[in-house]
Chain A
Amino acid sequence: MDSVAISAELALSILVIFGVIWIAFGWWLGRNNRTIDDFMLAGRNVGFAFASATAMATWITSNTTLVAPQLTYQFGIWGMIGYSLAALGLILFAPMAKRIKALMPHGYTCGDFIRKRYGFGAWIVFLIVSLCYAFGWLVSLGMAGGILLSSLSGLEYFWGMSAILVICIAYTLLGGLKAVIATDFVQTIIILAGVVLIAWIGISDIGLETIYTSVNEKSPQLLDLLFPAAIMFLFNNIFFGIGEIFHSNVWWSRAFAFKKDVGQKAFLTSGLLWLPIPIVTGFIALAAFSLDVYPASADMIGPLIAAQILGKVGAVFVFIVVFSALASSLDSLLAATSDLLTKDIYKGLVRKQATDLELFRFSKMAILIIGLVTWVLCIPKLTTLGSLLNFTGAFVASTIFPIVFGLYFKRLNGVAAALAMAIGTLCGLVGYFTIGFYVAALIACAVSLIICLVGMALVNQRYSWQQLQSED
């Protein structure tokens, strides 16, 4: 089919309108930011509604809107169910958010925790893992913006990717986490209304019976609940999702930023509300068999089907929904990675005596630096979204048990935690290249668990939780 559904001028107009609204909103929200706590953690005072919405919006990424349909197209039923089980990450993080706030009421980043809990060596390994993941995700988001624009409007990949990055960098820079969270709320409502409307029109126009019958005739393995690669994917995705959330500063910074007693219920609510979204965005890909749509790139199957069902108006709608999904994650990741660079790299390694004002200024510069590096990495468009996303799975899944054991048990020491993350990641990458992307997170997580258990069996460290509250 013709992949260009709307004109480049219309796409640019939508980008400019939304860009101006988000940037103005970001400036308005950030006008009273005076301290590093205001900028990095929204004053540590985020209420339940905004907390639930920002957790949900951040977890609805371009991957939920582009990769969930791709995986459903490749793995069928388990593709969408497997993706929806990534909600377990949010749900399981709920009690952890409460514990993080209780153990470190004045903390800033997940790096703070690893450094105080495990020491310098594990902290360095963690920072490498965390930054690799953060840039992997940032690049996948930037690329998704460019791919979306070029597929729906014919606008060149380079210009679409650049425009989306510039808009998100601008409002994050102006408003800090407060702007990120408030825009997330609005973006969540847009995304949810959009995906439900697209799904509903798809069901009304094509019919679930027609979709099911076509898939059953042309690609019946997609409906097979014993499809082996899909089952591997299911478990891989569960651990991947949990690893992404447990280790990433995107979620830790929210645990620090939410009001006391809000974190646990906000993460639980957002996880339950997020659970059905990948099924809603994913099942539409199965309509490809009824409509005879065969995309050049599998990650554009969702938008292409939606544009086919809904026509030009639908393409505009899809464009706005995916743009909102992209922005809601990109801004969070920019802010959280900037926090890591500011508190962990700049204050932790470069300038230990930096004042709050210096950190405030550096955190803004860090957003610009991260944005620039992401933009450069996005230009060559080296891989598909799904491949890039799953490549980072090896990194994040290796951190699950060092984080969980570190939060709840005194026994695990820094050497075991560092080895678990480093060797787990390496084994996950070996699995990625020798077996397939769908086992990377699974292997990384299993190896990391074994090393943590052996470490705890060999050495009985008696860590004092008070050390987590010590000043730098």
Chain B
Amino acid sequence: MSQFWFEILVMGAVGLAALAPIVLIILALIDWHKEQLW
């Protein structure tokens, strides 16, 4: 694998992983607002 694709792979993964907790917190706030957590 070339250095270019190695960097794309790693940076892409880090970026997506950084989005994940934000998505989960937003989903939880929506459920909490609708009183649908449980």
A283, B3: Cα distance in complex, Å:
13
A448, B29: Cα distance in complex, Å:
44
Contacts of B1 in A (CB 8 A): 77, 223-225
- A276 touches which of B12, B31, B37 (Cβ 8 Å): B12
Choose the segment among A46-54, A150-158, A244-252, A436-444 that binds chain B (4+ C-beta atoms closer than 8 Å).
A46-54
CB–CB A276/B13 < 8 A: yes
CB–CB A223/B24 < 8 A: no
A275, B20: Cα distance in complex, Å:
10
Residues in B1-38 with C-beta less than 8 Å from chain A:
1, 3, 6-7, 9-14, 16-21, 23-25, 27-28, 30-32, 36-38
Please give the number of chain A residues whose Cβ is less than 8 angstroms from any Cβ of chain B in the complex.
41
- Nearest Cβ on chain B to A367's Cβ, whole angstroms: 21
A193, B20: Cα distance in complex, Å:
9
**A192 close to chain B: CB less than 8 A:** yes
Contacts of B36 in A (CB 8 A): 47-48, 259
Known A48-B36, A50-B37: A77·B6 in contact at CB below 8 Å: yes
Interface of A is mostly: helix
| Closest chain B residue to A42, Cβ basis | B38
- Nearest Cβ on chain B to A425's Cβ, whole angstroms: 34
CB–CB B17/A280 < 8 A: yes
CB–CB B21/A188 < 8 A: yes
Choose the segment among A196-204, A333-341, A369-377, A407-415 that binds chain B (4+ C-beta atoms closer than 8 Å).
A196-204
| Closest chain A residue to B20, Cβ basis | A273
Known A50-B38, A52-B24, A223-B1: A203·B30 in contact at CB below 8 Å: no
**A209 close to chain B: CB less than 8 A:** yes
CB–CB A275/B16 < 8 A: yes
Q: How many A-B residue pairs have CB under 8 A?
A: 100
- A203 touches which of B10, B12, B18, B20 (Cβ 8 Å): B10
CB–CB B31/A50 < 8 A: yes
CB–CB A208/B16 < 8 A: no
CB–CB B17/A277 < 8 A: yes
| Closest chain B residue to A274, Cβ basis | B20
CB–CB A53/B14 < 8 A: no
Residues in A178-217 with C-beta less than 8 Å from chain B:
178, 185, 188-189, 192-193, 195-196, 199-200, 203, 208-209, 212-213
- B21 touches which of A47, A192, A275 (Cβ 8 Å): A192
Interface of B is mostly: helix
- Nearest Cβ on chain A to B31's Cβ, whole angstroms: 4
CB–CB B10/A178 < 8 A: no
| Closest chain B residue to A216, Cβ basis | B3
- Nearest Cβ on chain B to A254's Cβ, whole angstroms: 14
- Nearest Cβ on chain A to B30's Cβ, whole angstroms: 7
**A45 close to chain B: CB less than 8 A:** yes
CB–CB B6/A188 < 8 A: no
- Nearest Cβ on chain A to B20's Cβ, whole angstroms: 4
- Encode A246-287 as 1/0 by CB contact (under 8 A) with B: 000000000000010000000001000101110110010000
- A47 touches which of B18, B23, B31 (Cβ 8 Å): B31
CB–CB B12/A48 < 8 A: no
Contacts of B6 in A (CB 8 A): 77, 208, 212, 223
- B20 touches which of A48, A77, A192, A283 (Cβ 8 Å): A192
| Closest chain B residue to A279, Cβ basis | B13
Known A196-B14, A199-B14, A209-B3: A189·B38 in contact at CB below 8 Å: no
- Nearest Cβ on chain B to A285's Cβ, whole angstroms: 12
A269, B20: Cα distance in complex, Å:
10
- Nearest Cβ on chain A to B32's Cβ, whole angstroms: 8
Known A47-B38, A178-B38, A225-B1: A273·B24 in contact at CB below 8 Å: yes
Residues in A204-244 with C-beta less than 8 Å from chain B:
208-209, 212-213, 223-225
| Closest chain B residue to A223, Cβ basis | B1
- Nearest Cβ on chain B to A321's Cβ, whole angstroms: 12
- Nearest Cβ on chain A to B5's Cβ, whole angstroms: 9
Contacts of B27 in A (CB 8 A): 48-49, 52, 269
A206, B20: Cα distance in complex, Å:
25
- A188 touches which of B3, B7, B10, B24 (Cβ 8 Å): B24
18 residue pairs of the A-B complex, CB under 8 angstroms, read A42-B38, A48-B27, A48-B36, A49-B28, A49-B32, A185-B28, A196-B17, A196-B18, A203-B10, A208-B6, A209-B3, A209-B7, A212-B7, A223-B1, A259-B36, A269-B23, A269-B27, A279-B10
Instruction: Point out residues on A near B: beta carbons under 8 Å.
Output: 42-43, 45-50, 52-53, 56, 77, 81, 84, 178, 185, 188-189, 192-193, 195-196, 199-200, 203, 208-209, 212-213, 223-225, 259, 269, 273, 275-277, 279-280, 283
Given contacts A199-B14, A269-B23, 8 further A-B contacts (CB under 8 A): A52-B27, A188-B21, A188-B24, A259-B36, A269-B27, A276-B17, A277-B20, A279-B10
